C-alpha cells in the first residue's frame, strides 16, 4: 500500500463488510482483492483534506435511546467532521439499526461501526440475547463452544451493521481487589485465558467482525477502575513478560486485528451529545 495506513482499518473494514465486496470475494483471487482494496483506500485518502484525515481517527460515542436533539447533535458531528466511525452504547436494536443506516447514507466516507459487546449484543441493547460472562466461559473445558458463541455474536454484529467488537477481555484475574475486571475475565490462569481468548477472537474474525484484545498491557492485577482513575501495574518487565503480556502476544501471533490500550476517563464535550454516564469498556 502506498499510504502508511491512517485510514486503512476504517476504510478496509467498510469494504470488507459491504455487499459489493462480498460478491467480489466470490469471484476474485486474494491478490486481486488486496490490490483493489489498496487502490480504493488510496483513492479515498487522496480525496480528503488534512482535517478530514485526522477526523478519520475518531470514533464518536452514540446512544440510540436519546431524543432527537441528541441524535441531531451526533449527526452534525458525524457529517460535519467526517469522523471515522461511531461506537454504540445503550440502546435498542431497531433504533440502532435505523441510526446506522441513516448515518451511513449521509457520510462521505463509510463509517466504522463499533460496539462493546463482550457477552453479546445484550450487553448494550435491550431485547437482545445475553451470552455468559467470561468468568463462566473460563470454566468450560470444551473451548470450541466459545468459538461457536463468538461466531454467533459476529453474526449478530453483522446483522446490525457493526464491524468491530471490543472483545475479548484477556486480562488475567489475579487481583481479588480489582473493581472492574473480575467477572469479565476468563480467570486467573494465564494459559486458560490465552486459549479461550484466541477462540473468542477467531470466532469473531472468521465471521467478518474485527476482534479487540483488551486491556493492554493487562488490567487484571490492579485495584483501580480505569474509567475513574489511572491504574498502576507495579511489576517489573520480567513479571509482565511472563504473566500479563502472554495472552496479548498469543492473540497477536494468531492474527488479532485491533487492541484496546486504555479506558477513557474523559470525553470531548459536545453540547447535547455526550452522556454524563461512564460506560464500561
pLDDT digits (tens, 9 = 90+) for 117-141: 999 999 999 999 999 999 999 999 9
Identify the residue whose cell numbers are 459487546. 117
Question: Tell me, what DSSP letter sits at residue 64?
Answer: S
Domain chopping of the chain, boundaries = 1-47, 48-253
Q: Which segments of the chain does DSSP mark as H helices, in order?
A: 8-16, 19-25, 30-47, 50-55, 68-81, 93-106, 134-137, 144-159, 190-205, 237-242, 246-253
Question: Tell me, what DSSP letter sits at residue 72?
Answer: H
Q: How confident is the model at residue 29 (pLDDT cuts 50, 70, 90)?
A: low
Question: Which residues, in sequence order, are CB contacts of 5 under 8 Å at separation 6+?
Answer: 41
Q: Is the pLDDT of residue 43 over 80?
A: yes
pLDDT digits (tens, 9 = 90+) for 65-101: 999 999 999 999 999 999 999 999 999 999 999 999 9
pLDDT digits (tens, 9 = 90+) for 178-202: 777 888 999 999 999 999 999 999 9
> Is the peptide bond prior to 151 cis by the omega test (within 30 degrees of 0)?
no
Question: Tell me, what DSSP letter sits at residue 139?
Answer: T
What is the DSSP pairing of strand 85-88 with strand 164-165? unpaired
Question: Residue 103: its pLDDT value, please?
Answer: 97
**Protein fold of 48-253:** TIM Barrel (3.20.20)
Please give the share of the chain, as a percent, with pLDDT higher than 70: 80
Please give the share of the chain, as a percent, with pLDDT higher than 90: 62
Amino acid at each position: 500500500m502506498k499510504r502508511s495506513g491512517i485510514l486503512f482499518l476504517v476504510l478496509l473494514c467498510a469494504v470488507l463488510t459491504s455487499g459489493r465486496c462480498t460478491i467480489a470475494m466470490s469471484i476474485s483471487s486474494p491478490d486481486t482483492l488486496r490490490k483493489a482494496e489498496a487502490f480504493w483506500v488510496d483513492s479515498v485518502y487522496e480525496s480528503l483534506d488534512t482535517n478530514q484525515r485526522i477526523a478519520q481517527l475518531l470514533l464518536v460515542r452514540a446512544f440510540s435511546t436519546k431524543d432527537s436533539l441528541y441524535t441531531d447533535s451526533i449527526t452534525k458531528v458525524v457529517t460535519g467532521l467526517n469522523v471515522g466511525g461511531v461506537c454504540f452504547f445503550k440502546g435498542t436494536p431497531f433504533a440502532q439499526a435505523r441510526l446506522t443506516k441513516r448515518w451511513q447514507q449521509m457520510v462521505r466516507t463509510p463509517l466504522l461501526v463499533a460496539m462493546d459487546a463482550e457477552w453479546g449484543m445484550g450487553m448494550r441493547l435491550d431485547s437482545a440475547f445475553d451470552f455468559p460472562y467470561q468468568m463462566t466461559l473460563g470454566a468450560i473445558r470444551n473451548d470450541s463452544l466459545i468459538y461457536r458463541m463468538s461466531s454467533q455474536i459476529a453474526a449478530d454484529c453483522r446483522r446490525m451493521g457493526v464491524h468491530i467488537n471490543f472483545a475479548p477481555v484477556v486480562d488475567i484475574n489475579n487481583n481479588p481487589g480489582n473493581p472492574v475486571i473480575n467477572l469479565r475475565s476468563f480467570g486467573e490462569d494465564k494459559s486458560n485465558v490465552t486459549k479461550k481468548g484466541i477462540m473468542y477472537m477467531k470466532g469473531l474474525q472468521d465471521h467478518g467482525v474485527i476482534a479487540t484484545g483488551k486491556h493492554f498491557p493487562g488490567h487484571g492485577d490492579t485495584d483501580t477502575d480505569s474509567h475513574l482513575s489511572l491504574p498502576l501495574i507495579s511489576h517489573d518487565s520480567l513479571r509482565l513478560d511472563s504473566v500479563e503480556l502472554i495472552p496479548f502476544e498469543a492473540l497477536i501471533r494468531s492474527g488479532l486485528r485491533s487492541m484496546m490500550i486504555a479506558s477513557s476517563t474523559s470525553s470531548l464535550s459536545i453540547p447535547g451529545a455526550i452522556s454524563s454516564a461512564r460506560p464500561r469498556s
